[in-house]
Amino acid sequence: MNSAKIVFATAMLLASSGSGAMAAALDAGACAALDGRTIAPGDISLETGGAEVRGAEWTTPAGTNPFCKVSGTTMPVDPKAPPIGWQVNLPATWNGRLLQYGGGGYNGILPETTEPAIHGPLDGPVPLAQGYVTFGSDSGHTAQNTNDASFAVNDEALANYASLHIKKTLDVAAALAKAAYGEAPRAVYFAGGSTGGREALTAALRWPEAYDGVISYYPTANFVGLRLWGAALNRAIYDDASAGWIAPDLVKAIAAYATEHCDGLDGAKDGLVSNVKTCRTRSQAVVDHFACKDGQAAGACLTPVQIERTIKVYHDGYTLPYQLANGFDRYPGYNSLEGVVMNLGTQAAYAEPVVSGPNAHHAARAYEFFQHFIARDEKLDYRSFNIADPGPYRERLLEISELADANDPDLSAFEAAGGKIILVQGTEDPSVTPLGTAAYFGKVKEAMGADRVASFMRFYMLPGLAHGKGSFSPAWDSLAALDNWVTNGVAPAGYVATDTTGSATRGRTLPVCEYPSWPRYAGSGDVRDASSFTCALGD
């Protein structure tokens, strides 16, 4: 089929879906005309130096919707601040919707805006091919990797990363869509995970009138709380000549034993711990099994220091004697005695700068945070930092929390504007605590009432999902679910996730269960088939 026929066929498909309006069209000539286009500061709702298109390239992927790849920058107000780099993809046939992609870590690179939405289907057309204008930004700085937080010494770059790049980039994308198609978008969505998940909630909280729906996977909503947890983990592991460090082989053995210990609690021995609530009541048995007994070799068991410091911080988290933004004072820990592999690094030695991989991942992320967000590159004694008593840094922690955290439970403005939220967390996440995401959802219900929340928000806890992959890496069309909810008023129900891991479980399906329910094996049928499971609430 030639490109003209593809464009026509796609236009017919898009015109028959959603609102029913004929899809807007774009061609190569109109794409080229966008090159060099400027967007005045007054056309961006937040203060900037304006934006400029630095390239507009007509792209024709084989067998799908051609698009105009538009790249450019949004200039800062502070001449010492870096610009915001962005990419906006304008499809030849547009379904009237915008989809903003979120970033990861400390950002600094463009998200993959031509790929599926986060954990979206791998065997169907990507959002861009479906007719979505897709776009994203580097959050206002560039970096070699997403662990680099050096940008945060500049106030404007920090504010952009914390939240402002989200709306600044949306305004640019909307302006380009209007210039290309001659009409404003009919719906605007945001989808992301981790930092992108925090950005999705930030979009809903800070600009409720601008977004119609968001998809938030494993959000770093308690951004400062997570960094404090990394600092606490740093002390637990590396104090007293790294007495709390646990070697990788023992870490893996603990996770394997815990999984075996709890695997059958969901009715099926399938390598997944779905009934996590009951499993957590058995966590002490895992500790007792690995606690050092007389005659055991060093490194083959858990010492009292490792149990009381490292295991306790990882599994149980911490409580602060003060509050950060939105009343935050509790980070509840992870399912590290329920099958999660703790990320403690490959070496016992501590050395600055703390590097993710050799050292514990979140100890390294916290090191970057404290050096650049808090101390602003002045000397800070990270080895001795006490999260319970941060001394002169307490006010700065609160300031950053108010800038970056996305844990305000009052979503009433988003609800009033008709917005919808799909919130997703995985039980095996070693980076964003599943217990914390569940606690946030609970606070939203406390603040607004369960019935109101059910009218605009869904929360799913997926067994086996870690921070991107895991024992069960799900693919399901949450974007279609969100769009159907927004445009047709049909709330998500009955969705099934397909495992995309490269293991023997690839292709297995499970029901996507609303929290607090979880997939329970019905007792008969193929354990690889979602129809053999029900969404259970009890033990």
DSSP labels, 316-383: H-EE-SS--GGG--EE----TTTT------S-S---SSP-BTTB-HHHHHHHHIIIIIISTTS---GG
Q: Please give the Cα distance from 251 to 383 (Å, whole number).
A: 23
Residue 21, pLDDT score: 52
Question: Both 256 and 362 in a single domain?
Answer: yes
For residue 305, is it within any domain? yes
In eight-state DSSP terms, residue 447 is H
Residue spans of the chain under pLDDT 50: 1-20
Residue 137, pLDDT score: 98
> Is the distance from CB of 473 to CB of 482 less than 8 angstroms?
no
Number of domains in the chain: 2
Residue 337, pLDDT score: 98
Spot the catalytic one: 163, 194, 431, 471: 194
Domain termination residue (choose one: 362, 380, 404): 404
For residue 80, is it within any domain? yes
Q: Please give the Cα distance from 163 to 405 (Å, whole number).
A: 9
517 among known catalytic residues: no
Residue 336, pLDDT score: 97
Spot the catalytic one: 336, 467, 473, 532: 467
Q: Which amino acid is at 436?
A: G
Residue 297, pLDDT score: 82
Share of the chain above pLDDT 90, in %: 89
Residue 295, pLDDT score: 82
Residue 22, pLDDT score: 53
For residue 208, is it within any domain? yes
194 among known catalytic residues: yes
> Is the distance from CB of 214 to CB of 193 less than 8 angstroms?
no
Q: Please give the Cα distance from 466 to 207 (Å, whole number).
A: 29
471 among known catalytic residues: no
Question: Both 238 and 338 in a single domain?
Answer: yes
Question: Both 64 and 211 in a single domain?
Answer: yes
Question: Both 314 and 165 in a single domain?
Answer: no
Domain termination residue (choose one: 449, 464, 479): 464
Spot the catalytic one: 429, 477, 483, 499: 429
- Using CB atoms within 10 Å of the CB of residue 64, give its burial: 0 to 12 exposed, 13 to 18 middle, 19+ buried: middle
The per-residue pLDDT for range 424-478, each reduced to its tens digit, is 999 999 999 999 999 999 999 999 999 999 999 999 999 999 998 899 999 999 9
For residue 501, is it within any domain? no
Question: Both 169 and 253 in a single domain?
Answer: no
Among candidates 112, 92, 93, 94, which has minimal Cα distance to 102? 112
Q: Which domain holds residue 309?
A: 225-404
The enclosing domain of 103 has a CATH number of 3.40.50.1820
> Which two three-digit tokens encode residue 237?
């592991």
